[in-house]
Amino acid sequence: MSEGGVKRAASPTRAISPPPLRRKVATVTKKSVANFFTPASQKKPEPITWRILGTSLIVGKYVPEKSAPQTVSEQARRIASFDLDSTLIKTISGNTFPKSPKDWQWWDPAVPGKLKELNSEGYQVVIFSNQKMIKVQKDIKHGNSESKSLSNFKEKMTAVMTQLDIPISVYAATTDPEYRKPRLGMWREFQDDYDLDVSGIDLKGSFFIGDAAGRPGDHSNVDRGFGTNAGMVFKTPEEFFLAHPPMEVPEIFDPESYIKSAPGSPRESESFARKHPLELVIFCGSPGSGKSTYFWKNLEPLGYERVNQDILGTRPKCLKVAREFLEAKKSVVVDNTNANLETRAYWTELAKELNVPIRCIHFLSQPELCRHNNAVRASNKELNPEARKSLPGIAFADYGRRYQAPTLDEGFEDITPVEFEFKGTDEEKELWRQYWI
């Protein structure tokens, strides 16, 4: 060592770092080697494929290995479509929602055999299910590529479709209302996926089976509405799988019953007509009962000015604007809900103060109709000229809680009852007559 050199320190007697972990040696087989070097175009496709449309619709497709390749048929296809929960499967635990991906069993032992039979008869089998409890967003917090609820759903549906081992697809709508039954978003996506706009669908020979049929004890009638919207025959699982006779269903809301006038027919004479050169008219009716449409079609042509709290913001502003119109000798319509005596008293007092006759138009629409109108209006620009946003359910519940029927004792000269009737073009009627909620 040269003079002035530094002597290297002795090596430590203990290990500087922990010993390397023993790695597992993967088993290499002829099959895995062959698969690795096989071009992608020659590899067998996976039997199950999944995709997410937007941030809401889950689509799964199962194609058995021995299945013949799909071709575009020139004949209209027959569709055998089903709801999932309480129709094809149910939980083993008895809970409404499954405890795990394995917490399922067939709704009835006859189900798998019947579906295989339908496939052998040439039906295209598909599942349409509302699955609001599934979160489609990625689980970034835990570093997962998808949420646990989505993983669980895929695992369960993989088991269901694998047991059936027939060509089958599932469409599951989570949060977007445009995809959720009874609306037709899933149905349209299915038709597009299978080029059914080319071959067409034999609707008379197709059907939809679901448990939400509007029967006593059912949570809703969205399955019946979905089948009706799509133009297919609808049956309950009991009717289809167990050959039970149809259960009598209490009268449920039917949009079709509110469409009465033929397209292009002259407007029917209205029960309301102006009585005085100057008068104040107030509406009383639930949100979605058709008040604004009634104004534009029947009262605006008669020269009435409109006062609306959705536009003006507050009741004091409405009172101020109405006063200004009346003092300018212009008749006014107050297009608000005016649900109770207390609210209507503001307007009867104004009419008394200005010595103007006051009249009331009472809209008699049922809550189901009002919710339907709200949903149709929010979902279709053609039927929403004022760009109204969808109202929450609490808006209708609040009106029902406050509602007091108007009486002549409040000071009205007369009260005109109005029953709702939808009028529009053929295209508008086609939209409105569908089930939306």
Q: What's the pLDDT score for residue 73?
A: 55
Distance separating alpha carbons of residues 134 and 428, to the nearest angstrom? 34
CB contact at 8 A, 418 and 294:
yes
Q: What's the pLDDT score for residue 390?
A: 86
List the structure tokens of 120: 């052998």
pLDDT tens track of the chain, all 437 residues? 444 444 444 444 444 445 444 444 444 455 444 444 445 445 455 689 999 998 899 999 999 987 655 554 568 999 999 999 999 999 999 998 999 999 999 999 999 999 999 999 999 999 999 999 999 877 655 566 789 999 999 999 999 999 999 999 999 999 999 999 999 999 999 999 999 976 789 999 999 999 999 999 999 999 999 999 999 999 999 999 999 999 888 888 899 989 875 444 444 435 789 999 999 999 999 999 999 999 999 999 999 999 999 899 999 999 999 999 999 999 999 999 999 999 999 999 999 999 999 999 999 999 999 999 999 998 988 888 878 788 888 999 999 999 999 999 999 999 999 999 998 889 999 999 999 99
Q: Which helix (H) or strand (E) holds 88?
A: none
Q: What's the pLDDT score for residue 259?
A: 87
> Which amino acid type is present at position 353?
E
Strands (E), 207-279: 207-209, 233-235
Q: What's the pLDDT score for residue 44?
A: 54
List the structure tokens of 223: 């399955």
Report the relative pairing of strands 79-82 and 207-209 from DSSP bridges. Answer: parallel
Q: What's the pLDDT score for residue 23?
A: 44
The answer, yes or no, to whether the previous bond of 47 is cis (omega within 30 of 0) is no
45: exposed, middle or buried (C-beta count within 10 Å: 0-12, 13-18, 19+)?
A: exposed
Q: What's the pLDDT score for residue 209?
A: 98
Q: What's the pLDDT score for residue 265?
A: 41
> Which amino acid type is present at position 276?
H
At residue 151, φ and ψ (nearest 5 deg) are -60, -45
pTM: 0.80
387: exposed, middle or buried (C-beta count within 10 Å: 0-12, 13-18, 19+)?
A: exposed
Distance separating alpha carbons of residues 7 and 30, to the nearest angstrom? 56
DSSP 8-state assignment for residue 256 = G
Q: What's the pLDDT score for residue 140?
A: 54
DSSP 3-15: TTPPPPPPPPSS-
Query: For the chain, which domains are there?
Result: 47-252 (3.40.50.1000), 280-432 (3.40.50.300)
Q: What's the pLDDT score for residue 121?
A: 96
Provide, for the chain, the percentages of residues in helix, strand and coil under a 3-state DSSP scheme, each rounded to the nearest 5. Answer: 35, 15, 50
Neighbour count for residue 136 (Cβ, 10 Å): 20
Neighbour count for residue 91 (Cβ, 10 Å): 16
